[in-house]
Structure 1
Amino acid sequence: MQFSNSALWVALCERSIVFARASFVILCISLVSTFVKADQVILKNGDRLSGTITTADGKSLNLKTDYAGDVSIKWDAIQSFSSDQPLYVTPKTGAMVVGTVTSSDGNLEVATKDAGTVTVDKVAVKNVRSESEQRAYGAWGGFLDSGLSLARGNADTTNFTLGATASQITEKSKASAFINSIYSTGTTNGVSLTTASATHAGLRYDFNLTAKTFVFVFSDFDHDRFQQLDLRNVIGGGLGYHLVKTDATNFDIFGGGSFNQEYFTTLTRRTGEALVGESFDHKLSAAFSINERLEFYPDLSSLGDYRVVFDTAAITKINKVLSWEIHASDRYITDPVNGLKGNDLLLTTGVRFAFGANKGL
């Protein structure tokens, strides 16, 4: 009986050792497989980094790692890199190619499914994106802004503001839409009055002819109860030029023409207009940005009359979803109806919610 127990004990120990060895081998294989499958970046100083390549723009390469989060690497500091996942590589000239990438001797070798291996000069790379980044790049994204203020007591007032902006940006084009609205009511001594009711909205499509020039078409809509403007619809288009276009700053100038239809309470006007304008966007930091757009519309049907459209905003980013926004929207006309004021300013502030593939602040 004693011998039997000893033999059993030895057998159990042997099995435990075999199991431990097998587990260790499996763990090592898993670790090696993970390391091998990860994208690799080798720097000119000999350092080696592994992770997932997300984007590159010819200036830097972004690598997502488990040990250091997102790492940005200077493009000129990279000796070579390789990916086990398909990357979308766009050269400065030529069509985009898709496939796993290895780099050597200053070239990127893209192993495509249909065209075999395509060579792209490293200095000629415009951008590189992973599959998820490429999907996000061509998707719609934007922001929803809202604000509410109330007063209750001797006087009851309610003020509500709403704004939304959405855009879809690709290498060649940009489609965008916006709306800003304010509605305010007040009650004093039992008398209820609407003190503000205005809405500005628009659609626009830009198409890049070259790296600097673009054409655009647009349609704007305005309603202003206290200008007795039931609806203004403007349809137009023209040609623009990118004076500055960087990751932090965009400054465009543009010109063209438009057809303006105004439906006031007491009359309807239809006029042709010229258009001159500019737009400016700038990121002051990772958390703060400003933007503005100014448009001037001389009336071609009544010389001396004109319209001015001005929009500006300042945005402070709280996190990836929430921001705080202050927005001003001004509309000026030289020929208001019935002796009313020609200038109306809409100022809103509130919380901004990001949705979809937003492109920044």
Structure 2
Amino acid sequence: MFSRTLLCLALCATATSALADTVWLKNGDRLSGKIKFFDGGKLLLETDYGGAIALDWNKIATLESDQELLVKESAVGGERAKALQPAEPGKVTLANGEAPKTVELASIQQILKPKPLIEDFVWKGNIDAALDYKRAERDTDDYDVRLKTQARHGLWRHNGQAEYNRELRDDVLSTDNWGVEYALDRFLTEHWFWQGRLEYKRDRIEDLRRQRTVGTGPGYQFWDNELGAFSVAGLLNRTDYEYANGENDNFYAVSMKWDYNRYLIGKSVELFSDGEVGKPLANAADYTLDAAVGLRYKLTDWASLNMKAEKDLVSGSEGELDETRYSLGFGVGW
């Protein structure tokens, strides 16, 4: 009976270890976990004993994985391997049925998990908040909060954004605006999609008090994987402006939107940028720009520090808006 128990425990341990990826280091150490990705000289290994560990690629002798992984030896092409098998030090074998291929570790630029076109529900997002209190000859209180979230199921993707900006100078309100946006993407292929979007902005200080936009048009997803995403969309919009003097303006415009983020240094740093540039069809002089660019540094799996620069520019016949904001704050992500 005792020997049977030991046999069962041994079989369970063997089965458990078989499910884990393994990394052999040049110093003889062996680490088990799940390979998340390799990029920028770092292999990210998810473990149940130490969380996510970033390993120097030049310290690795070989590795093993039972996952299907995309192994890229150039910036353009890549090979989908059904599994990775250990080889002699400095090499790894890409298992693809009857034609395994052994490659030099030094020749590999990236290892990613392939992302299928049809996938289960995925929800991600982040909230960034920046608070700035300055007490000097002129007191300044500045608040900046922004929500950005995205949910995808199969061929549909939902995109939502909301932001609020408020600034007081010597207890006098100098900035007070907020905005919300919702966009729905329907993927036609792995990369091409069609987008419809609604946007509303409200400003209680500037001459341009309200902006309402309805738009639709094609978009292209360049990539969306463990290391980030990049997409652009060209839209035909109907925009309504309402000014502080009570006058209204509406027009049709074309615009180009972008949404970019890229993880660096073992996913501890994120570079991001999003925005839109638009051009009315009836007026050659007017244009709009709403853009943001920044960095996030991850403190934990969910918390981060962020630095951001934002530009909001509207050139119109009834008034102009030109604002640039810089912020440093704290954020949470999921």
Q: Secondary structure at the match of 1:38?
A: helix
State yes or no: 1:234 paired with 2:217. Answer: no
| CA distances 1:271-318 after superposition (whole Å, capped 9, x unpaired) | 111123433322232211212234222112334322222222211111
Kindly provide the amino acid, as one letter, of the partner of residue 215 in structure 1: W
Tell me the distance in 1 between the aligned counterparts of 2:191 and 2:173: 47
Q: Which structure shows the higher helix fraction? A: 1
Tell me the distance in 2 between the aligned counterparts of 1:197 and 1:254: 29
Q: Secondary structure at the match of 1:327?
A: strand
State yes or no: 1:31 paired with 2:12. Answer: no
Tell me the distance in 2 between the aligned counterparts of 1:37 and 1:143: 37
Where does residue 87 of structure 2 map in the other structure? none
Tell me the distance in 2 between the aligned counterparts of 1:248 and 1:288: 11
Tell me the distance in 1 between the aligned counterparts of 2:285 and 2:305: 40
Which residue, 164, 170, 187 being the options, matches 1:181? 164
Which residue, 287, 300, 319 being the options, matches 1:306? 287
Displacement of 1:77? 7.2
Displacement of 1:79? 8.9
Tell me the distance in 2 between the aligned counterparts of 1:126 and 1:153: 54
Where does residue 199 of structure 2 map in the other structure? 220
Matches within 5 A, 1:171-210: 171-187=154-170, 192-210=171-189
Where does residue 89 of structure 1 map in the other structure? none
Change (3 A) 1:77 1:153: closer
Which residue, 329, 343, 352 being the options, matches 2:322? 343
Kindly provide the amino acid, as one letter, of the partner of residue 194 in structure 2: V
State yes or no: 1:167 paired with 2:150. Answer: yes
| CA distances 1:74-121 after superposition (whole Å, capped 9, x unpaired) | xx976978xxxxxxxxxx9xxxxxxxxxxx9839xxxxxxxxxxxxxx
RMSD in angstroms over aligned alpha carbons?
Answer: 4.2
Matches within 5 A, 1:256-295: 256-265=235-244, 266-285=246-265, 286-295=267-276
Change (3 A) 1:227 1:244: same
State yes or no: 1:328 paired with 2:309. Answer: yes
Q: Which structure shows the higher strand fraction? A: 2
Change (3 A) 1:42 1:308: closer
Q: TM-score, normalised by structure 1?
A: 0.62
Q: Secondary structure at the match of 1:183?
A: strand
Is the 1:234–1:259 Cα contact (8 Å) retained in structure 2? yes
Displacement of 1:238? 0.6
Where does residue 25 of structure 2 map in the other structure? none
Give the length in aligned residue pairs.
277
Is the 1:39–1:53 Cα contact (8 Å) retained in structure 2? no
Kindly provide the amino acid, as one letter, of the partner of residue 317 in structure 1: K
User: Which has the greater radius of gyration?
Assistant: 1
State yes or no: 1:353 paired with 2:324. Answer: no
Change (3 A) 1:51 1:295: same
Change (3 A) 1:291 1:53: closer
Is the 2:20–2:34 Cα contact (8 Å) retained in structure 1? no
Q: Secondary structure at the match of 1:301?
A: coil
Tell me the distance in 2 between the aligned counterparts of 1:249 and 1:63: 17
Instruction: List runs of 5+ in structure 1 lacking aligned partners.
Output: 1-21, 44-48, 57-61, 82-91, 93-103, 108-124, 129-133
Which residue, 122, 132, 136 being the options, matches 1:149? 132
Deviates more, 1:303-312 or 1:25-34: 25-34
Tell me the distance in 2 between the aligned counterparts of 1:302 and 1:291: 32
